[in-house]
Amino acid sequence: MRFDATPNSSVEDQPVIGIIGMGEMGKMYAKILSTAGWAKINVCDRPENFDQLTQDMKNVPGINVLRDGHRVSRTADWIMYAVEAQFMDKVVAEYGPSTKVGSIVGGQTSVKTPEREAFEKYLPEDVHIVSCHSLHGPTVSPEGQPLARFCRVIIRHRGPDWALQLVENILRPFRSHFVYLSYEEHDLVTANTQAVTHAAFLSMGTAWHCSQSYPWEQGLYVRGIEIVKVNIMLRIYSNQWHVYAGLAILNPAARDMIKQYSTSTTELFKLMLAGDLKRLRERMHKAREALFGPHRRVTPILLSEDVLDKFGMSRAEPKGVSTQATADGTLSDTNATEPSLSRPSSSNSHLSLLAMVDCWAELNIDPFAHLSLAATPLFRLWIGVAEYLFHSEERLDAAINAAVHNVSHRSDDLEFVVAARGWSQCVSFGSFELYKDRFQHTQSFFQPRFAEATALGSRMIKTILDDAPPTPSG
């Protein structure tokens, strides 16, 4: 093996790549690396999955399915553990001692604290640790997707220059932007870019579930910012619960941020109920100045509402108006003289966004710094809609006035506050079973809409990221 090997190198010069854990993320890694030209990829999953995994991978060039992690660990030059964070200790304890002398080990976990502890506890001292984290989900395809706008964190915990170079070469086919962090820095950044962002959308879903309605079908949440919130919420709930549980429960920084988000939501809602427009406006404009003032970028991340309107979910129509599916999956009028989206929707407090910006301000967090370090597609959209709302004093004041004076969304806001507090408590309890039950309970309510939302959400993300300006440096 050559340390400077690339997929174009001869098979003899290429490293043996090992992947322990062939769930969705492990399979994505294996297939992309195979397509790139890496010719020696040893993979494994749980023993009971061996036959099915062998069948699934039989036509994928370069992939060799082994029976267990011992065989992968003994043969691979670079080993990636693609297992859930809560199982890292158990899996590394079993297979880590078998790691080949001088090899490089990393993990594709969203929370690095358990990973680091497991590696330091169970890996031999003559093994290098250069870890990674892909800041996009397993459903992201390199075909037609702007992966170069996504970040791939590399953590050089212990190892020489050649080990870092080899890991970079192995991961280069993903065409992502490399960001170099420590284990501690990673968990702080991902607490904001992932865990608290997910908590906001989980709370939206729980709130709408408790209201027992799809609000976008009642003429609500059908324009611009609302469309982004609805599509991302559905996209999150269409995934598996464990994708998000470890991010929140196992990361101390995430627990603190989620708690503050719940606190911000509650305190802002109390100002709304008190009709205290003055204090609410002062608080939100102070946060606006801190996060989106003149010292910040002026080029918007997000597109116009007219573009976002293309990605609206279906909605209720007035009697006598028939609908038909359009090419992008939304419903359009066949009898109306004007498009349904031209009808104005009622003002919205955007409490979820007000609370997010307030949370950042209260914790003295610069989201743009995190955007440049480790932006996920969802975080880019989330900060984009926040920026869209707060950059315009007119839009922000409209939301603040609606929060105090317009009660049409008040019941939704109440449900959202209760949901945000509930998710914060759930995370603080540290129970994966409680998190699973809470997630799946709401997930079942939205199940009928996932196919449409996934298709629309993927096109929305691609459209926005294709047209987005470069990631800011601060």
Residue 358 is predicted with a pLDDT of: 97
In whole angstroms, give the CA distance from residue 67 to residue 114.
25
pTM: 0.78
Angle between helix axes 410-429 and 197-210 (nearest 10 degrees) is 120
Residue 190 is predicted with a pLDDT of: 87
In whole angstroms, give the CA distance from residue 332 to residue 318.
12
| Cα four-point dihedral sign 260, 263, 268, 269 | positive
* 275 burial type by CB count under 10 A (0-12 exposed, 13-18 middle, 19+ buried): exposed
C-beta neighbour count of 28 within 10 angstroms: 22
In whole angstroms, give the CA distance from residue 268 to residue 399.
12
Residue 232 is predicted with a pLDDT of: 86
The region, left, alpha or beta by phi > 0 then psi within -120 to 50, assigned to residue 215 is alpha
Kindly give the pairing relationship between strand 78-81 and strand 104-107. Answer: parallel
Please tell me whether residue 193 adopts helix, strand or coil conformation.
helix
- Measured CA to CA in angstroms, residue 387 lies from 105, 382, 384, 438 at distances of 39, 9, 5, 30
**Residue recorded with tokens 């101390």:** 252
What does the pLDDT profile of the chain (474 residues) look like in tens digits?
888 999 999 999 999 999 999 998 999 999 999 999 999 999 999 999 999 999 999 999 999 999 999 999 999 999 999 998 889 999 999 999 999 999 999 999 889 999 999 999 999 999 999 999 987 666 655 443 444 456 689 999 999 999 999 999 999 998 878 889 999 999 998 898 888 999 999 999 999 999 887 766 766 555 677 778 888 898 899 988 988 999 899 998 999 999 999 999 999 999 999 999 999 999 999 999 999 887 765 555 655 666 666 665 554 433 333 333 333 333 233 333 233 333 334 578 999 999 999 999 999 998 888 877 766 778 888 888 898 889 889 999 999 999 999 988 899 899 999 999 999 999 999 999 999 999 999 999 999 888 877 777 677 777 766 665 555 443
- Measured CA to CA in angstroms, residue 468 lies from 146, 299, 380 at distances of 10, 9, 10
Backbone angles phi, psi at 314, to 5 degrees: -65, 155
Cβ atoms of 86 and 432 within 8 Å: the answer is yes
List, by residue range, all CATH 3.40.50.720 domains of the chain. Answer: 11-180
- Nearest CA-CA partner of 145 in 458, 472, 468, 471: 458
In whole angstroms, give the CA distance from residue 92 to residue 81.
8
Residue 70 is predicted with a pLDDT of: 98
Q: Which two tokens stand for residue 218?
A: 């009642």
Residue 335 is predicted with a pLDDT of: 33
Specify the DSSP class assigned to residue 172: G
Residue-by-residue DSSP string for 406-444: --TTHHHHHHHHHHHHHHHHHHHHT-HHHHHHHHHHHHH
Residue 317 is predicted with a pLDDT of: 38
Q: Which two tokens stand for residue 463?
A: 């459209």
- Nearest CA-CA partner of 190 in 264, 261, 112, 116: 112
Residue 306 is predicted with a pLDDT of: 63
C-beta neighbour count of 351 within 10 angstroms: 27
Q: Which amino acid belongs to residue 51?
A: D
Cβ atoms of 283 and 355 within 8 Å: the answer is no
* 445 burial type by CB count under 10 A (0-12 exposed, 13-18 middle, 19+ buried): middle
Q: What angle do CA 21, 23, 25 make, to 5 degrees?
A: 95
Q: Dump pLDDT digits (tens) for 108-153.
A: 988 999 999 999 999 999 999 999 998 766 665 544 344 445 668 9
In whole angstroms, give the CA distance from residue 332 to residue 293.
39
Backbone angles phi, psi at 376, to 5 degrees: -90, 160
Q: Where are the beta strands (DSSP E) in 10-169?
A: 17-20, 41-44, 63-65, 78-81, 104-107, 128-134, 151-158
* 124 burial type by CB count under 10 A (0-12 exposed, 13-18 middle, 19+ buried): middle
Specify the DSSP class assigned to residue 188: H
Cβ atoms of 180 and 362 within 8 Å: the answer is no
Residue 60 is predicted with a pLDDT of: 94
Cβ atoms of 32 and 142 within 8 Å: the answer is yes
- Nearest CA-CA partner of 436 in 261, 248, 209: 248
Report the top-level CATH class of 11-180. alpha beta
- Measured CA to CA in angstroms, residue 310 lies from 58, 119, 322, 457 at distances of 40, 47, 19, 11
